[in-house]
Amino acid sequence: MENITALLQGFSVALTPYNLLLMMVGITLGVIIGVLPGLGGANGVAILLPLTFSMNPTSAIIMLSCIYWGALFGGAITSILFNIPGEPWSVATTFDGYPLAQKGKAGQALTAAFTSSFFGALVGVLLITFLSPVIARFALRFGPPEYFAVYLLTFCAFVGMAKGSPFKTIMSMMMGFALAAVGLDTVTGQLRMTFGFADLLKGFDFLIAVIGLFGIGEILLTIEEGLAFQGAKAKMNMKVVLETWKELPKYWKTSLRSAAVGCFMGIVPGGATPASFLSYGIAKKMSRDGAKFGTGQLEGVVAPETAAHAAGTSALLPMLTLGVPGSPTAAVLLGGLLIWGLQPGPMLFAEKPDFVWGLIASMYLGNIAGLIVVLTCVPLFAAILRIPFAIIAPVIMVICAIGAYTVHSSMFDVYQMVVFGVMGYVFKKLDYPLAPLVLALVLGDRAEDSFRQSMLASQGDMRILYSNSLVGSITTLALLLLFWPLISLGLEKIRGKRSTASVVD
């Protein structure tokens, strides 16, 4: 009951005309960002974050979160119509979405994708509504050892649940830790790795890094690939929408299962991309039409879209309650909160209830607004892709440069952005993940501070990480996830030997 009362107060904050206007602007910009390959939710939020510095923090976070919702919706448009994933988590949507479009059923595929996205995000928001106060109250018991254990769990989760090489994930994270260490040491007051450059006294700003790594890096990669947009036309009208809605209820088990997978992967944090692939794989195994997946099945669109949006939304839960982002976009939003002078974590619910519940209320409203916008404006957004990339790319790069300069009104930041852009391009070419680097850059100094405070309190005794059942269980789980790739490899070898032995017998 307490949650409902707080949520109603949040709606009174979110439903002001100014915030509603920002909500619609955010949704529209987000869909455009999601439609354009080379941008995406994290990039769009990072590029536009400097524009919110003069806003009220509540209005700013509402606009940025709605950009995120819009980008989540927009990624499906290119996946289905052009077989070009607008977002990494939209790759699984192309498996059945594009074949449906080729059969002339683009409208049905888009309606199924948008409706599933709406449902997945709604489940994620409900989870945040009812679980975040509980987790926040629980987190009040946390001291430096507990916070370090949570940070360690977050870093180890990225290693243990990495889709690609764990070694590459660790190397990317190490680079992030190195960048986070540059500047003033908050514990001793000494300078670290500034090499005599006065501009490095403040360290590397995560926002400059994100704009370069994602925005510029993706543009450089897209220019190299010479991406061309050619795709199917989508006929969207109320008749198509209603007919598809009549068909979707028979996939209710797939929707619920995918939403559960997505919420789990968002909180862990596994991320929206593995959640979409995992849900698609589970749906394929458990469906009666599993053998037909990949040829144009609506269920093959429902599963990944539901999971991706549930994961993308629920990733904000650990960010708000513990100050630990569950996705790259949540990491960017976390940086925004710090810039606005807000400290994410359990005290945020007690000190800034209007902000927290206004944000949660805007999630409900933004999700509904996003569904309406994409269902009515698909042809318009698809037409954006027919603008020559030679025009779009320079515009995006100029926006990135303006965003980077706006952070500190410094040309040095623009040069940093270019360097990070080249780094992002190289990372993508070598197939190194960027999310662990961003996570380490945002949380590296905070994890270090918590660790050093723990060591000072225990006089250097590492056993403080097992000083009580809470910190001990979190640390154990973190180490289990860190070594999970080796453990799983060992288990596979044991199974292989057993199967070989049985064949010989």
The pLDDT, as a whole number, for residue 268 is 62
Q: Rounded to an integer, what distance in angstroms lies between the CA atom of residue 251 and that of residue 289?
A: 12
Q: Residue 198's CB: how many other CB atoms inside 10 A?
A: 8
CA–CA separation, 328 and 254 (whole Å): 27
Taking 70 as the threshold, does the pLDDT of residue 24 lie above it?
Answer: yes
pLDDT over threshold 80, residue 375: no
What average pLDDT does range 31-36 have in this prediction? 73
Q: Is the pLDDT of residue 227 over 60?
A: no
Tokens of 26: 């955010």
Tens digit of each residue's pLDDT (9 = 90 or more) over 61-118:
788 878 877 877 777 776 777 666 656 667 678 778 878 887 877 778 888 888 888 8
Residue 473: its pLDDT value, please? Answer: 85
What tokens appear for 49 in the block? 């974050």
- What's the token pair of residue 262? 């997505």
Question: Of the candidates 172, 206, 220, 221, which has an alpha carbon nearest to the alpha carbon of residue 404?
Answer: 206
pLDDT in tens, 102-127: 787 777 888 888 888 889 888 888 88
The mean per-residue pLDDT over the stretch 477-493 comes to 81
User: Which of the four pLDDT bands, split at 50, 70 and 90, describes residue 36?
Assistant: low
Position 256 pLDDT exceeds 70: yes
Asked if the model's pLDDT at residue 327 lies above 70, the reply is no
Instruction: Give me 264's structure tokens.
Output: 């789990």
Helix, strand, or coil here: 407? helix
| 9 class by beta-carbon count within 10 Å (0-12 exposed, 13-18 middle, 19+ buried) | middle
Higher pLDDT, 468 or 341: 468
pLDDT mean over 457-468? 85
Q: What is the pLDDT of residues 265-313, one digit of tens each?
A: 777 655 676 677 778 877 877 877 777 777 778 888 888 888 888 887 8
Mean pLDDT of the chain: 77
For residues 85 and 231, is the Cβ–Cβ distance under 8 A?
Answer: no
CA distance 332 to 215: 13
Judged on CB neighbours under 10 Å (0-12, 13-18, 19+), 377 is middle
How large is the average pLDDT for residues 35-48?
66
Give residue 85's pLDDT: 60
Q: Range with the lowest mean pLDDT among 185-189, 226-230, 340-344, 385-389? A: 226-230
Would you give the DSSP letter of residue 214? I
391-420, pLDDT tens digit by residue? Answer: 767 877 887 787 677 667 788 888 888 999
The Cα–Cα gap between 457 and 464 comes to 9
The residue among 210, 179, 178 whose CA lies nearest residue 417 is: 210
Q: Examine the pLDDT at 502 and tell me if it is beyond 70.
A: no
Q: Tell which residue, 478, 497, 389, 448, has the closest CA to residue 188.
A: 448
- Measured between alpha carbons, how far is 441 from 422 in angstroms, rounded to an integer? 17
What distance in Å separates the CA atoms of residue 8 and residue 354, rounded to the nearest whole number? Answer: 11
pLDDT of residue 37: 55
The pLDDT tens digits for 284-297 are: 778 777 777 777 78
Kindly report each contact of residues 461-465 with a partner whose C-beta sits within 8 Å and lies 24 or more positions away, as own/partner: 464/145, 465/145, 465/148, 465/149
User: Containing H/E element for 183?
Assistant: strand 183-184
> Mean per-residue pLDDT for 11-16?
81
List C-alpha distances in Å: 366 to 7, 23, 313, 464.
Answer: 15, 6, 12, 44
Distance, CA of 33 to CA of 42 (rounded, Å): 10
pLDDT attached to residue 235: 59
